[in-house]
Structure 1
Amino acid sequence: MVARRTVSAVVLVLPGGTDSSYEKSSWRSPSALRMYPFTWSIAAAFGGRVAVRQVRYRVYGWNGGQASPMPYAWAALEESAARHPGVPIHVIGHSMGGRVAAHLAADPRVHGVLALAPWWQYADWRRIHPGVRVVAMHGTADTRTYPHRTAKGIDELAAAGFDATFVPVPDGGHAMLDHIGWWQRAAIDFVRTAIAQ
């Protein structure tokens, strides 16, 4: 058990999903498995200084206005904030998890967003409250979500005064199976910067 006084950052890791599905999520799903290396590597790199938690949703889909993942993501944020009061919270999300991250970042307790190939179809970046540091990575060969849309969101945030950075991954696909070390190092660097601030 991590002592509260030693924790300098909380990190919530947010797996992806799909547009519409009521299939129950599983810890063995590809979207969950894809994010475990991020969760584990952050825990290993920072030990007790960072409280890291991978969020699990009830179903795979966003499901329109139901925003199915959000109650579970909000619950994880509330539980983390209660367990580590006053500690800055940072969110790392892939694909649909990047959309979840943007919605969570409407809360002032969230200080940073790392969006990995985010599904920002509906200008979700506009939900992020001022003062949040935003880093977005996107493979240039991604055909499931769109790097040009992510770049547009980052440009809009930067123009509004955010600390916002877009990192293109040359020839990178949506699943992040290419340039694996680059994706992983980016997450470690994101958390390291968060701790240093």
Structure 2
Amino acid sequence: MAGTTAAHRPLRTRLRPEEARGAVLVLHGGRDSSLDPVEPWNAAALRMRPFVRGIRRAVAGAGIAVGEVRYRYRGWNGDRADPLRDTLDALEELEELLGPVPVVLVGHSMGGRAALRAGGHPRVAAVVGLAPWCPPGEPAEQLAGRDVVLLHSDRDRITDPAGSRAFAERARRAGARACRLVVAGSDHAMLRRAGDWHAVTAATAAGLAGAGPLPPAVAAALRAAALDEPLAPVR
């Protein structure tokens, strides 16, 4: 397993059916540059706990495993792309545990960037990016043939909503089935309208993993390859 040591195994399994037919991996956010280790109480990782719980409930009994990726370092760190390396290692570890099952990656912020980059891995079938960090020129060719769903607040001041829109358009041109939905009035931490973020992400991950139908808004956005579809409040 390239890059993985006994001191750091990036995969954290949260639900493992006896006979898994698919998996969802959740990736938390981080920083542009930092070689500080990710501690268990890391706020970005803790923020994803409600998403993990929601996904576990959404796929319960459907033969879908759920896990998290824990990074070595808090930062992306330029060309090192440390979270991407950890994600690829976690995918290899997951295949050792479950066999060659299809995987849905769900990533927030820096984790969204890592998930989109790792989308070219042979086991990845779909990516859900939550307020993803999509710098200009971020590659999208690796996502050909994958489903890509991006959700972004129009008031995000940390990652650029225009960047995720441009990325979804590039991914679509590269051969992905891609869409972007706008969570109006929210924020980067996904605290405003948190219930909407949690519910739609869990249902989308479950639907992409084959554990149920996609939320109607997401299904319609994917069909239309919509880039600015507003996400209505979940009732």
**TM-score (normalizing by structure 1):** 0.92
Distance 1:26 1:77 in 2: 21
Distance 1:72 1:149 in 2: 24
Q: Which residue of 1 aligns with 2:225?
A: none
**Matched residue type, 2:192:** D
Q: Which residue of 1 aligns with 2:73?
A: 59
Q: Which residue of 1 aligns with 2:228?
A: none
Q: 1:148 to 1:77 in 2, by over 3 A?
A: same
Unaligned segments of structure 1, at least 5 residues: none
Q: Secondary structure at the match of 1:11?
A: strand
Quote the RMSD (CA, aligned, Å). 1.8
Please tell me whether the aligned partners of residues 135 and 166 of structure 1 are also in contact (alpha carbons under 8 angstroms). Answer: yes
Pick from 13, 28, 47 the counterpart of residue 15 of structure 1.
Answer: 28
Identical pairs, percent: 35
Provide Cα deviations, 1:83-128, integer angstroms capped at 9, x if missing partner.
2223111100000001100111121210000000001114335143
Q: Tell me whether 1:29 sits opposite 2:29 in the alignment.
A: no
Of stretches 49-58 and 91-100 in structure 1, the one that deviates more from structure 2 is: 49-58
Please tell me whether the aligned partners of residues 23 and 209 of structure 2 are also in contact (alpha carbons under 8 angstroms). Answer: no
Distance 1:16 1:91 in 2: 13
Q: Secondary structure at the match of 1:104?
A: helix
Q: Tell me whether 1:192 sits opposite 2:206 in the alignment.
A: yes
Q: Which residue of 1 aligns with 2:64?
A: 50
Q: Secondary structure at the match of 2:167?
A: helix
More helix by share: 1
Q: Which residue of 2 aligns with 1:39?
A: 52
Distance 1:46 1:8 in 2: 11
Unaligned segments of structure 2, at least 5 residues: 1-14, 212-235
Pick from 172, 188, 192 the counterpart of residue 174 of structure 1.
Answer: 188
Please tell me whether the aligned partners of residues 4 and 84 of structure 1 are also in contact (alpha carbons under 8 angstroms). Answer: no
Q: Tell me whether 1:148 sits opposite 2:162 in the alignment.
A: yes
Distance 2:143 2:209 in 1: 20
Q: Secondary structure at the match of 2:158?
A: coil
Q: 1:56 to 1:120 in 2, by over 3 A?
A: same
TM superposition shift of 1:4: 4.6
Q: Which residue of 2 aligns with 1:164?
A: 178
Q: 1:160 to 1:104 in 2, by over 3 A?
A: closer
